[in-house]
A and B are shown apart, each in its own frame.
Chain A
Amino acid sequence: MNRHFWRVVAAVMAREITAELRGRETVTALGAFALVVLVIFGFALNPVAVDLEPVFAGVYWLALAFAALVAVGRSFAREKEAGTLEAVAALPADAGAVYAAKVAVTTLWLALVAALLTPPFFVLLDVEASPPWGAWALTTLAGLAGLVSAGTLLSALAVHARGADLLLPLLLLPLEVPVLMAAVRIGESLLAGEPLSAAGGWFRLLVGYDIVFFVAALVLFDYVAEV
């Protein structure tokens, strides 16, 4: 991790953020998508008749997982549409730096979406519990980082395959099982009013997953970007 690596990370992040500020398409579209998923859950689960608090963490994480799936899918599909995929691959840099920047930016967008949508989530699904918000935010961030770390690597693989849109969820969802289990269990415990330490084992597992998959992908990304 020399200075050059960080310079590339910063440059790619700046590029993604500038593009987003210009068009605002990612956050808007992702937010709208997650909201639609939420409303659909509302219809499917009927919060008027059923108390959704026991399954609320599960619904919250499914909506975020779907949004993450779309977000990481867009991450390289957009490059391909714009014809910049080869340019990114040909950057005179550690391919890992491109990967790290993409992960950071995509996690940032999803965290924004989660922050914006958390109030409507609680209101629309009629859940009155008030979890410790700092811990809730920390868990959301750790969960999103796990989804995006594995997802960005797999998205870079899928973009070169036929039927990338179908392939990516097929590759990613089974790998995400530990993230979803951990995040949902922590969420349930927080909703019950317990502190984060009550689900400490799960939180360590989540952070462990983040680290293992981020580091593995960082190393393996060199082999993806080969031209």
Chain B
Amino acid sequence: MRLLGYASLPAIPVALYMALVAAPTEAFMGHSQRIMYIHVPAAIASYLSFAIVAAAGALYLWRRRDHLDALAHAAAEVGVLFTTITLLTGSLWGRAAWGWWWTWDPRLTTTLVLWLIYVAYLIMRQAIDDPERRARFSAIFGIVGFLDVPVVHLSVVWWRSIHPPNFAGGGTTLDPAMQQALAVCAAAFLLFNLFLIALRWRVERLERSAARARASGRGAAGD
């Protein structure tokens, strides 16, 4: 984990430099186009986080190790954070590029549905008291929620394609310098994403062992 921290902390300033200074300014949109260097990597990072939620859930159902549930919880929280960043930056971009804050663009809509699914996941975790049952149920919902992602995306793409799009999307070619900046930003975000999950995972495990120690201490005092 320390390695991830050492790797990701300098990566973020480098990525920001690439995005804000080194990458050329876009001809039509000017500086607001630079939102992309945050928006796209954040979206990729959130997909990775939710894949971790599902994988940790499946492993939990198989091996029943408490720390796997802690990992799923950590990844879900970080995933919701990055989805929120994706939605906010997408909205800002939309305002700058198309003139409105929200459009039912397929990817934005998929991200919004994803956000709703994983916010519900976190709320469900809070609503179940028994830790073992919470872990089991969260694993189930984490798997089902992730299964929904490709179906949601496919349906949203079709849904939009019936109405004419509000903007000429797709088929844009990116300047090589921009591609390079985007790749660096994506790599930095993924590292940072993994680092946050690892950090949150450790906090979660410490909290749980502290709670267990408290519970057994209280049990001993009561005896």
Binding site for B on A (CB under 8 A): 150, 153-154, 157-158, 160-163, 167, 170-171, 173-175, 177-178, 181-182, 185, 201-202, 205, 208-209, 212-213, 216-217, 220, 223-224, 226
Query: Do A181 and B156 touch across chains, with their CB atoms under 8 A apart?
Result: yes
List the A residue with the shortest CB-CB distance to B137: A157
Query: Do B139 and A217 touch across chains, with their CB atoms under 8 A apart?
Result: no
Instruction: Determine the chain A residues whose CB is within 8 A of the CB of B147 once the complex forms.
Output: 212-213, 216
Instruction: Determine the chain A residues whose CB is within 8 A of the CB of B158 once the complex forms.
Output: 181, 185, 201-202, 205
Binding site for A on B (CB under 8 A): 61, 113, 116-117, 120, 123-124, 127-130, 133, 136-137, 139-141, 143-145, 147-148, 151-152, 154-156, 158-159, 162
List the B residue with the shortest CB-CB distance to A212: B147
Q: Which 10 A-B pairs have the closest CB atoms?
A: A161-B127, A174-B116, A178-B155, A170-B120, A174-B117, A178-B151, A162-B127, A157-B137, A181-B155, A161-B128
Instruction: Determine the chain B residues whose CB is within 8 A of the CB of A217 once the complex forms.
Output: 144
Query: Do A220 and B129 touch across chains, with their CB atoms under 8 A apart?
Result: no
Q: List 24 A-B contacts (CB under 8 A).
A: A153-B140, A153-B144, A157-B137, A160-B137, A161-B127, A161-B137, A162-B129, A170-B124, A171-B120, A171-B124, A173-B116, A174-B148, A175-B144, A175-B148, A177-B113, A177-B155, A178-B155, A185-B159, A202-B158, A205-B154, A209-B151, A216-B147, A223-B140, A224-B140
Interface centre among B129, B133, B140, B141 (most CB of A within 10 A): B140
Name the prevailing secondary structure of the A interface residues: helix
Instruction: Determine the chain B residues whose CB is within 8 A of the CB of A226 once the complex forms.
Output: 136
